[in-house]
A and B are shown apart, each in its own frame.
Chain A
Amino acid sequence: QVRLVESGGGLVKPGGSLRLSCAAPGFSISDYYMTWIRQAPGKGLELVAYISDRGLYTDYADSVKGRFTISRDNAKNSVHLQMDSLRAEDTAIYYCAKSVVGTPGYLDSWGQGTLVSVSS
Chain B
Amino acid sequence: EDQVTQSPEALRLQEGESSSLNCSYTVSGLRGLFWYRQDPGKGPEFLFTLYSAGEEKEKERLKATLTKKESFLHITAPKPEDSATYLCAVSLDNTDKLIFGTGTRLQVFP
| Chain B associates with chain A | no
Binding site for B on A (CB under 8 A): none
